[in-house]
Amino acid sequence: MTQLFRTFLIFLCLLTNIAAFAIEPAQPAPTKTETIQTAFPEGKKLHDAHCVKCHQSMTFEKPDDIYSRPERIIKQYDSLKTQVQRCVTNTDLMWFEEEVDNVSHYLNEQYYHFEIKE
């Protein structure tokens, strides 16, 4: 292999690397919660944006541990909604009833599976 050809190959490699970066910006690997299927995408969006970080810091980095911990206090859908409202208020979020409902439904669908009598 001639020196010139080798230089050309190295140049080509660099070029394709640069092109690959330009076309496909580095994306963080999706976390578990980003790949979840849900009937309540609005609830999931609100939850992921406002609720995960604080719970995650309390529960050893696994964001959903708090909902499935053995000592969890919530035993029915009404209490789930009350707790969601409590966390919303504590966080100084000004959510409409609809947003609280959406997130409660989302959490119920994913973790609690209570029967909903509404």
Residue 105 interacts with ligand HEC (CB under 6 A): yes or no: no
d(CA 12, CA 4): 12
Shortest Å distance, C-beta 35 to ligand HEC:
20
Calculate Rg over the CA atoms of the chain. Answer: 23
Nearer to ligand HEC, 17 or 111 (CB): 111
Q: Which residue has the tokens 């909902």?
A: 67
Tokens describing residue 93: 């979020």
Residue 66 interacts with ligand HEC (CB under 6 A): yes or no: yes
Residue 114 interacts with ligand HEC (CB under 6 A): yes or no: no
Tokens describing residue 108: 């119920």
Shortest Å distance, C-beta 30 to ligand HEC:
21
**Helix, strand, coil share of the chain (percent; to 5):** 65, 0, 35
**Contacting residues toward ligand HEC, per CB under 6 A:** 47, 50-51, 54-55, 58, 66-67, 72-74, 80, 83-84, 87-88, 91, 93, 103, 107
